[in-house]
Every structure is written in structure tokens, then in C-alpha cells.
DNA sequence: ATTCTTTTATTGTGCTTGTGAATAAAATAG
DNA sequence: CTATTTTATTCACAAGCACAATAAAAGAAT
């Protein structure tokens, strides 16, 4: 074997249901190999054609043909010559960072708007406070995007990706379930597309965050993982068999609304004792109010600050949240048995203190087998923004994708450049 | 468009993680199309080449080539001529039912051994009572298989598939978790392979059952489903994005051991208040013992018989089980949002009475969106046996597969005939 | 009976793609 | 200035599918 990429052994993926069958042809092979090469360029850039051939297992001649195609499609650009100890220098290839994506991370009270290039570098970033009416809020987001576009008019704008604090139907791209954002039935995608004249992709925040982790290479080799977002509520994104699972209407991952104690407090969803009424940041604030009844109403950041300062009631409150988080992970480990569990959100800022609590509870309640690797994603905001960009690239290029996210919608393997 | 199979629109699946990348070539395209054709033959047999061309969208010439390959591999055989109103008669193609698979459905107290052909028809079937020691039990299973093999020595035996009441690691093919079967560390696969000189595949019973439903065509067009097995415990099999999810060590699907009430009775797994202590058949028997304390200890079949006869305590007991089953489905709908939920196991024999209870509780606790379609699989035993056969065919042919089940192991696209 | 029509199945040509070997290109080492 | 090494391209070949033409095998029409 010349390459580390198996050509035998594990084999291609097939669909089982005839309704979705797709026939294969030589173009199909090219598509797959194109995506593999693009992915290697992305993760190893700058990189020479010869290196691509070595690490992909494809023949140099094939690499040349594919790279030629990628350059003509504007995804990749040739860069400097690399001098090696001996032999002809290689021309280095990189992703074409003249291509940029406008992204937004919408949260209940503010949105972050940013401009990201193909390499995930931020060219601009701005916080936009939101108001209650969706129309005015979206108007402010659009305004921010327009000024970013004007300030970088030399770039090619590939599209717009938006991370939403709720579930987005992958087919209709409508917001299906967003308890913390009262934007029901407002056509976010349509309005922004109209105003910006760029294609808009919506994604759930947890899924965006997970996609960003996938792109960062952190989950290389991991085919089953769950990412848990802890903030006002608890959300989750699921990676199963190497694919992000969104399921019907994009609703998969609502572990936060699994019932764990029928005698527990009522949840925003109407049920009693959902996991998130015990383990969300809101729960931590409630615990603190019980433990320190005379204290004023805090925000979660103030509470976490107090834990850093050694406030015992604050530590007890967040610890109680951590215990419930860890115990509730049993829902995740039992049902999906992931190899990795990633936590993101408020309490990860004090991970050194609360991580071990979660870990301990999770391990103690494991059913069988080795416990999953528990970790955090450091910067949830940047992660969601990068994930939103990744969703756009997936849609537009088919590139580096979990199939479901590209399942609907026509395939447009066009050149990358949209607007100059 | 000549065919109903999309060539555009939804597109091929790709891997994202480089560690598992597989390159594509023309052979790859042939493999995919071969599998599609084989699947159409399986589901529409007997069928003519011309029909295959029409319903696959492939050219007649390509169909001829693929069929020639399938015949040479012994998967398919030519049958009678079909006379049509006009034109040249077509030669009908069918799966070659000279190929057979030995299967077993192992349950805590007995195993069913059977012989199945490629069409899922049963050629023989026998119950084998099991004893406590795994060695003697397996010996009895092997003995039954040997006599079936002797009685059908004219057939080609393709392999052995075994449905197990526990979780099987897809990589090592060892039984990882089987609370109701004390066969820890006994190498079932190795022993049977040694004795029978045929390749053995183990599968979890729920996964086998789900695979059988997939093969039956019942889940055509469904890409997200969960199958729940209700017996001594509660198991589940997960179909997400059209693939069966087994996850790390094959442990995915243990919804039965999700905690739903910390004040509940202790479960065999050591935790308190798992779903299965409220919703399994064992739970129904416990409810009955509480409601009719003077009654003798019943089996679940006797209890269900009593409900048929109108015994009010029995009806109340199983109804309570049904209520907990339906409420617990919230775990499934919240986390995976499947389009279909299938129930299999004891209480499905009285589905007319208890199905509506489950349905009602499930719908009332839904988080958002339309409720999944709730149904049952009629004959769990036959279903598991067929599923066990399907696992063998998947492994040996790559055919009609969810990728994870074939992920490990070498690919042997050899002729189907193994032993004459 | 013979010819036309219809449908099935195969054969042959052309296009795309990947492989593998040979070649060209561009540097350093001697 | 030549030999060596490494990079990248070119070319012949094979696999595979599409498309068109042809052969094959019936019934229908004359």
C-alpha cells in the first residue's frame, strides 16, 4: 500500500431505500475524489500536488486533473513555490481566500455578524443588539452585512450562513422550534436573500457548532459524537456514522426535553421534569436563588464570576447544575453511545472546576463499555460562526459534507464565484 | 426524466473524516449500480431486463452487463419466458434460491434455528431449548444446524446469521451487553464457525428486526425510524439518515435504560427508574401482581391471554405498561424525531387494545412537529430470523446495506456459492 | 405465408475517469 | 556542466456508462 487511505477494506456507502437511489457513473467518481482532494487541501494547506497524490492515494495525473478543475472553479488558488532540499520545487495550493461568506450567530438578545473566508479566518465581526420584532431585528442584521460587504468589495461573496437558536427544517429552511426566540413564521431566509441578493442557509446553533468541530479536524476519526449546548436551555447535535443527524424537520437532538423526573418543575415546553429544567444555566440561577435567597437576580455570567471568586453558594449552585448535566448524559450515552461528548456554553468557562463533576457523574451512570471522551468547545460563538460558514460551503459545493444537510436542494457544482 | 430515480437532486453520500476516506473509481460505480440492480430484482422479482432498465434508469446495455455479472456470481438466475401482448418475450430474472442461509434467533430460554433462502422463505425451522451453560446451548444449536444442512445438501450454504438478545460489537463480533443471557466471554461466533465451517455473523435482535423491516420494503422512503422491542426489557434499533446506527461497540439504542424517574424501582442495570422498569413485559407482570395480589405468578403470555378474555386486572396492568411505553417514547421522539416508530414484542399481540393507548400518550407528550407514524411488526420471531439472514447477505455481498454493518471486515465480492 | 410492428436484448462507438509508465521540467549536488 | 532528485504533465490503456444501431422473437396485418 502506498497510501494510508484504504482502497479495499471498508467500502463505499450505499443507500438502501429505492426511493433515494442514485445511480453511479464516472462523473460520480470524479465528484467524490474532487471532494476528497479539496478536503485534504483545506486541512493541509498550503500543499503541493505531489503531497496530495501521496496522502490521497490518487495518481499524480489524476491529482493534476482534479486540481485543474478546482482552480477553474475558483475554489483553489496556486501560491508560492516551495523549495525543497533536492529536486524541482513544488507549487503550493491553498483555498482561494478571495472567497468569503457572511455569517450571523443569532441569539435571543443579540446577533453577531461576521465575515469569514474559506479558511475560517475572520475579516470582520460586529455585535448587533436585537429587538422584539423579527422584522426590525433582521433589518439590523442586514444593515450590518451590507456595510461589511461594502468594506470588502474586492472579495467574492459566496453566500450567507446563519446559526439560529432553534431547530431549522432542512427542507423548508423555516424555524420550527425556537422557545427562546419569538420569530414564529417570519421568513428570515427569504427576507435576507431578497435584501442581500445572496443565498442564505439557516442552521441550528448546535449543528453549526458540531460542523465547525468537524471542520477543525478535532473529530477526525470519530464517527459517533454528541455535542451539548448549555445555555438558557439544553440543545444537542448528533454525529452518527460520521453524519450529522437532523432527522425529520431538523428536530433531532432535543435531549434537553427528555423527561428525567416527573416530580420536577415544569419546563417551558409544558412537560414536567425535562433534563434542561435541572441542568441548564437557568437551572443554575434557580439553584443559586434558593441557596442565597437574599441575593439579587443575577445573570449566568455574574454567577460564574462569583464561582471564580470562591462564592460558596454560587459554587454549590453551578455544581448542582453540573451534577444534573452529568447524570443526564446517561440519556445520551444509553441511546447513542457516542465516542465523544462535547459540551459548549456558559459553564465551560469554569471547566476546571465543573468538568470533573460532570465527568464523574457521567462515568458512574454508564451502562456498559468505556465512557465517551468528554470535552468542551472553547469558544462557542466563533465556533457557531465558523459552522454557519461551513453550512454555506457544504450547500454550494457539495464539499466536505454530511449528506443530510445537502439532501434537499439542487446540486450546483458551479464555479465558486458569485459576485465580484 | 425516463426514470423515477433521481440522478440530480439528492446526491451521493460522502465521508467527511479523512481516516475513512475511500477513493472512487469506475469499479466503485459498478458496485453501486450492481447493488441497485440486485435490490430491484429482489424487490420486484421475477423481473425482466427491460423492466430493470426502466425502473433503474440505467441503459439496457448496462443492465445486460450487470445481470451477466450477477448470474456469473450466482446471485441471480434466469427463469421462465414471459409472454407479453406484443413483442419479444422477456426472460425473467429471480434471486437464485439455491442459496440458503442458516439462521438462529437466540432468546434467554430457547433458540429458533431455521433455514432461509435468498427470498426470505423458510425451508426449515426448529425450536431448541437452551440450558444455562453457553457451551452446551451452542452445541445444541450447532446440532440442529447440522441436521438442516444434511437435509438440504442440494443447496449452497452462504453463511450463518444469529440474532442475539444483547448488544454485539460490530468490530469484534463479541457480545458486549446481554443482561438476560449469561454468556459472558463465550466465543459464540468462533465455536460455531469452527463446527460448521461457515462464516457466522452476530447481530442484536432489535437491529436484525429493523433490517428485516428494511428488506421487506415497509420502510421504503423512510430515512429515520426507531424500532422498539418490548419483552423482558426494552431494546431499540435506530435508523438515522437511512442507516442503521450501532455506534461504538454496537451499544446504541439502549433507550430502555434511560432514567425517567429517580424515585422508581431499581433496574437490573443498577440504576433507579429506567424506562424499562416501567414499560417492559416484566413491569406489566409486576403491575398485575400488585393489582391481583392473590394470583399466582404468570408468564407474560398468560397475562396477555387474560386481557383477551376481559380480565380487568390484567387489562389494567398491561394498560399501565402501555401508558409508560407511550410516555417514554418521548425519549425517542425528542432525541431522534423519527418519522416512524415500530413496536415489536409481547404486547403487540393485543395491539388493537393497547396500541391506541401508546399512541395517545406519545402524541400528548410530543415536543413539536407531527407525531411519528406508530406501527408494529407482526411476527418478531420470523422478523428476527429474516434479519439475521439479511445480515449475512450484507456482509457477504455488500448488497443492500447500511454502511456501518459492513464497515469492518474485508470486502469479498466473490461468487455467492460457498459450499455445495 | 409473408411482411409489418412491437418489444426485448445485445453489440459497437464514444465519452469520462482513473491507472501506470514515460517524459518533461526545475531545482541541487558533485 | 552533468548527474540526481523531485515535481508535474502527457500518453496509452482499461473500466464503465450512455447512446445508437442491430439482432432476436414474438404477435398483427395483409
The nearest alpha carbon in chain A to B406 belongs to A10
- What is the reported pLDDT for B90? 94
Cβ–Cβ below 8 Å for B7 and A23: yes
Candidate from A8, A56, A245 with C-beta closest to B411: A8
Kindly indicate the confidence band of residue A397, based on its pLDDT and cuts at 50, 70 and 90: low
Query: Which residues, other chains included, contact B53 with Cβ-Cβ below 8 Å and sequence gap of 6+?
Result: B59, B60, B62, B63
Cell readout for B84 is 407479453
Cβ–Cβ below 8 Å for A221 and B19: yes
- What is the reported pLDDT for B396? 62
Residues of A in contact with B253 (CB under 8 A): 335
Please determine, for residue A337, whether its predicted confidence score (pLDDT) is greater than 60: yes
Select the residue from B18, B33, B410 to test the A interface by mutation, using most A Cβ atoms within 10 A: B18
Please determine, for residue A267, whether its predicted confidence score (pLDDT) is greater than 70: yes
Shortest Cα distance, chain A CAs vs residue B217, angstroms: 8
Residue B21 touches partner A, C-beta closer than 8 Å: yes
Peptide bond into B343 cis (omega under 30): no
- What is the reported pLDDT for B420? 26
Residues of A in contact with B243 (CB under 8 A): 16, 240-241, 243
Instruction: Give the rounded percent of residues in chain A with a pLDDT score beyond 90.
Output: 60
Residues B249 and B170: their CA atoms lie apart, in Å, by 6
Alpha-carbon Rg for chain B, nearest whole angstrom, is 23
Residues B405 and A286: their CA atoms lie apart, in Å, by 46
Task: Please tell me which residue lies nearest to nucleotide C27, judged from CA to C1'.
Answer: A88
- What is the reported pLDDT for A393? 85
* Tens digits of pLDDT across chain B (420 residues): 223 332 222 222 222 344 445 677 778 888 889 988 998 998 888 999 999 999 899 999 999 999 999 999 899 999 999 888 889 999 999 999 899 999 999 988 899 999 999 888 999 999 999 998 899 999 999 999 999 999 999 999 999 999 999 899 888 888 887 777 778 778 999 999 999 999 999 999 999 999 999 888 888 888 899 999 999 899 999 999 888 999 988 899 999 999 999 888 998 888 889 999 999 999 999 999 999 888 888 999 999 999 999 999 999 999 999 999 999 999 999 999 999 999 999 889 999 999 999 999 999 877 777 899 999 998 878 999 999 999 998 876 544 333 322 222 222 333 333 332
Candidate from A28, A176, A240 with C-beta closest to B247: A240
Residues A373 and A339: their CA atoms lie apart, in Å, by 6
Nearest to B69 by CA among B98, B120, B27: B27
Residues A203 and A81: their CA atoms lie apart, in Å, by 39
Cβ–Cβ below 8 Å for A262 and B262: no
Residues A356 and A365: their CA atoms lie apart, in Å, by 14
State chain A's maximal CA–CA distance in angstroms.
75
Fill in the DSSP letter of residue A371.
Answer: P
Cell readout for B85 is 401482448
Give the CA-to-C1' distance from A85 to D1 in angstroms.
21
Please determine, for residue A415, whether its predicted confidence score (pLDDT) is greater than 70: no
Q: A232-253 pLDDT, tens per residue?
A: 899 999 999 888 999 988 899 9
- What is the reported pLDDT for B320? 95
**Beta-carbon-side half-sphere exposure of residue B149 (alpha carbons within 13 Å):** 20
Give the CA-to-C1' distance from B88 to C6 in angstroms.
8
Residue A64 touches partner B, C-beta closer than 8 Å: no
Please determine, for residue A274, whether its predicted confidence score (pLDDT) is greater than 60: yes
Average pLDDT, integer, range A250-278: 90
Residues B380 and B374: their CA atoms lie apart, in Å, by 16
Measured in degrees and rounded to the nearest 5, phi and psi for residue B69 equal -65, -45
Fill in the DSSP letter of residue B414.
Answer: -
The nearest alpha carbon in chain B to A12 belongs to B22
Kindly indicate the confidence band of residue A179, based on its pLDDT and cuts at 50, 70 and 90: confident
Residues A219 and A25: their CA atoms lie apart, in Å, by 31
Residues B54 and B33: their CA atoms lie apart, in Å, by 14
Residues B135 and B188: their CA atoms lie apart, in Å, by 9
Please determine, for residue A299, whether its predicted confidence score (pLDDT) is greater than 70: yes
Contact B321, B231 (CB under 8 A): no
Nucleotide at minimal C1' distance from the A60 CA: D8
Residues B262 and B275: their CA atoms lie apart, in Å, by 11
Range with the poorest average pLDDT among A42-46, A225-229, B325-329: A42-46
Between residues 101 and 160 of chain A, which touch chain B (CB distance below 8 Å)? none
Task: Please tell me which residue lies nearest to nucleotide D14, judged from CA to C1'.
Answer: B26
Average pLDDT, integer, range A330-350: 93
Cβ–Cβ below 8 Å for A242 and B35: no
Between residues 205 and 244 of chain B, which touch chain A (CB distance below 8 Å)? 214, 219-224, 236, 238, 240-243
Q: Which residues pair with B164 in a beta bridge?
A: B204
Q: A167-176 pLDDT, tens per residue?
A: 998 888 888 8
Residues of A in contact with B58 (CB under 8 A): 23
Residues 7-66 of chain A in contact with strand C via CB under 7 angstroms: 26-27, 29-30, 33, 57-62, 65-66
Give the CA-to-C1' distance from B96 to C13 in angstroms.
34
Task: Please tell me which residue lies nearest to nucleotide D18, judged from CA to C1'.
Answer: B59
Between residues 151 and 190 of chain A, which touch chain B (CB distance below 8 Å)? 167, 176-177
Candidate from B17, B257, B407 with C-beta closest to A334: B257
Nearest to B228 by CA among B372, B106, B91: B372
Peptide bond into B46 cis (omega under 30): yes
Residue A414 touches partner B, C-beta closer than 8 Å: no
Cell readout for A98 is 478571495
Residues A217 and B125: their CA atoms lie apart, in Å, by 51
Residue matched to cell numbers 460520521: A242
Cβ–Cβ below 8 Å for B257 and A339: no
Nearest to A340 by CA among A332, A328, A352, A351: A332
Cβ–Cβ below 8 Å for B220 and A260: no
Residues A417 and A98: their CA atoms lie apart, in Å, by 9
Please determine, for residue A405, whether its predicted confidence score (pLDDT) is greater than 90: no
Residue matched to cell numbers 426566540: A181
Kindly indicate the confidence band of residue A396, based on its pLDDT and cuts at 50, 70 and 90: low
Helix (H, G, I), strand (E, B) or coil at A193: helix
Nearest to A202 by CA among A35, A36, A408: A408
Q: What percentage of chain B's residues is helix, strand, coil (to nearest 5)?
A: 45, 20, 35
Name the strand (E) or helix (H) holding B101. strand B99-106
The nearest alpha carbon in chain A to B26 belongs to A26
Residues B298 and B277: their CA atoms lie apart, in Å, by 17
Q: How many residues does chain B have?
A: 420
What angle do helix axes B26-44 and B49-56 make, rounded to 10 degrees?
A: 110
Residues A367 and B181: their CA atoms lie apart, in Å, by 16
Fill in the DSSP letter of residue B108.
Answer: S
Predicted model pTM: 0.86
Give the CA-to-C1' distance from B82 to C8 in angstroms.
11
Chain D bases near protein CB atoms (7 A cut-off): 4-12, 14-21, 23-28
Please determine, for residue A97, whether its predicted confidence score (pLDDT) is greater than 70: yes
Residue B65 touches partner A, C-beta closer than 8 Å: no
Classify each residue of B205-232 as buried b or exposed e, where b means 16 or more C-beta atoms within 10 Å of its C-beta. Answer: bbbbbbbbbbbbeebeebbbbbbbbbbb
Cβ–Cβ below 8 Å for A255 and B17: no
Give the CA-to-C1' distance from B29 to D14 in angstroms.
15
User: How high is the mean pLDDT of chain A?
Assistant: 85
Measured in degrees and rounded to the nearest 5, phi and psi for residue A213 equal -65, -40
Contact A381, A112 (CB under 8 A): yes
Amino acid at each position: 500500500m502506498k497510501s494510508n487511505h484504504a482502497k479495499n477494506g471498508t467500502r463505499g456507502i450505499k443507500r438502501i431505500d429505492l426511493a433515494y437511489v442514485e445511480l453511479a457513473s464516472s462523473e460520480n467518481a470524479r465528484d467524490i475524489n474532487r471532494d476528497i482532494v479539496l478536503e485534504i487541501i483545506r486541512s493541509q494547506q498550503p500543499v503541493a500536488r505531489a503531497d496530495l497524490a501521496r496522502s490521497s492515494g490518487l495518481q499524480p495525473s489524476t491529482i493534476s486533473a482534479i486540481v485543474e478543475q478546482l482552480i477553474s472553479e475558483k475554489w483553489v488558488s496556486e501560491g508560492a513555490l516551495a523549495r525543497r532540499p533536492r529536486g524541482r520545487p513544488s507549487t503550493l495550493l491553498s483555498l482561494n481566500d478571495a472567497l468569503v461568506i457572511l455569517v450571523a450567530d443569532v441569539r435571543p438578545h443579540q446577533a453577531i455578524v461576521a465575515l469569514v473566508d474559506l479558511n475560517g479566518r475572520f475579516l470582520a465581526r460586529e455585535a448587533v443588539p436585537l429587538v422584539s420584532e423579527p422584522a426590525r431585528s433582521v433589518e439590523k442584521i442586514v444593515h450590518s452585512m451590507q456595510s461589511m460587504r461594502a468594506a470588502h468589495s474586492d472579495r467574492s461573496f459566496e453566500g450567507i450562513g446563519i446559526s439560529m437558536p432553534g431547530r431549522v427544517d432542512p427542507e423548508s429552511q423555516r424555524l420550527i422550534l425556537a422557545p427562546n426566540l419569538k420569530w414564529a413564521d417570519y421568513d428570515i431566509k427569504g427576507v435576507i436573500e431578497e435584501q442581500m441578493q445572496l443565498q442564505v442557509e439557516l442552521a441550528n446553533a448546535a449543528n453549526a457548532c458540531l460542523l465547525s468541530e468537524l471542520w477543525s479536524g478535532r473529530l477526525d476519526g470519530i464517527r459517533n459524537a454528541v455535542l451539548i449546548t448549555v445555555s438558557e436551555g439544553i440543545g444537542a447535535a448528533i454525529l452518527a456514522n460520521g453524519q450529522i443527524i437532523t432527522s425529520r424537520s431538523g428536530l433531532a437532538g432535543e435531549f434537553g426535553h427528555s423527561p428525567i423526573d416527573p416530580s420536577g418543575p415544569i419546563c417551558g415546553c409544558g412537560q414536567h421534569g425535562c433534563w434542561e429544567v435541572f441542568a441548564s444555566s437557568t437551572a443554575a440561577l434557580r439553584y443559586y436563588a434558593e441557596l442565597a435567597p437574599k441575593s439579587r437576580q443575577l445573570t449566568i455570567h455574574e454567577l460564574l464570576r462569583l464561582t471564580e471568586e470562591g462564592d460558596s453558594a454560587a459554587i454549590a449552585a453551578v455544581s448542582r447544575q453540573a451534577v444534573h448535566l452529568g447524570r443526564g448524559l446517561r440519556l445520551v450515552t444509553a441511546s447513542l453511545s457516542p465516542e465523544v461528548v462535547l459540551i459548549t456554553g456558559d459553564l465551560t468557562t469554569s471547566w476546571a472546576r465543573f468538568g470533573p463533576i460532570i465527568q464523574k457523574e457521567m462515568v458512574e451512570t454508564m451502562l456498559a463499555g468505556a465512557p465517551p471522551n468528554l470535552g468542551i468547545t472553547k469558544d462557542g460563538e466563533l465556533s457557531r460562526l465558523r459552522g454557519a460558514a461551513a453550512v454555506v460551503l457544504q450547500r454550494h459545493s457539495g464539499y466536505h459534507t454530511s449528506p443530510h444537510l445537502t439532501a434537499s436542494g439542487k446540486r450546483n457544482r458551479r464555479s465558486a464565484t458569485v459576485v465580484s
